[in-house]
């Protein structure tokens, strides 16, 4: 069974950087997509970034483009989200998720497509 465990959240100031990690286990992640989503208080969960495990193809939400970078370490079964120039509006619980790809070359941004989810890690950005 797939298990995803996030780490790296915390309290930072606006303009700071933070790196989130997601340790994936229980499966071979070939032909999987890995994503990061977030949910702010009182809001619905939203897409942040995704990466194709096979080819490294990425996609980002417009709100984080140029500030966040998603990457994967296939040897360690780890997915990371480097977050730079953080803003108060980035405050949310961040979730790691995994999806089995029907097209092994694509990147999935739809939340409903994802099969597995971590427990989330809190990121708070103060102004």
Identify the CA nearest to 95 among candidates 126, 54, 58, 49: 49
Please, are residues 107 and 58 in contact by the beta-carbon 8 Å criterion? yes
State the residue for tokens 């099969």. 115
Q: What is the pLDDT of residue 110?
A: 94
Mean pLDDT of 22-32: 91
Q: What is the pLDDT of residue 15?
A: 98
Give ∠ CA 60-100-66 in degrees, rounded to 5. 10
Q: What is the pLDDT of residue 102?
A: 83
Q: What is the pLDDT of residue 1?
A: 87
Q: What is the pLDDT of residue 123?
A: 98
pLDDT at residue 105 greater than cutoff 90: no
Mean pLDDT of 41-53: 96
Give the rounded percent of residues in the chain with a pLDDT score beyond 90.
88
Q: How far is CA 108 from CA 11, 32, 43, 56, 70, in A?
A: 29, 10, 21, 12, 14
């Amino acid at each position: 069974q797939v298990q995803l465990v996030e780490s790296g959240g915390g309290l930072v100031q606006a303009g700071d950087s933070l790196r989130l990690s997601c340790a994936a286990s229980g499966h071979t992640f070939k032909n999987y997509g890995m994503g990061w989503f977030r949910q702010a208080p009182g809001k619905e969960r939203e897409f942040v970034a995704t990466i194709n495990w096979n080819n490294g193809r990425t996609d980002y939400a417009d709100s984080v483009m140029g500030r966040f970078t998603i990457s994967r370490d296939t040897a360690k079964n780890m997915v990371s989200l480097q977050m730079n120039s953080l803003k108060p509006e980035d405050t949310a619980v961040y979730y790691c998720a995994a999806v089995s790809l029907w097209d092994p070359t694509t990147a999935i941004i739809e939340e409903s497509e994802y099969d597995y989810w971590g427990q989330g890690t809190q990121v708070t950005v103060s102004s």
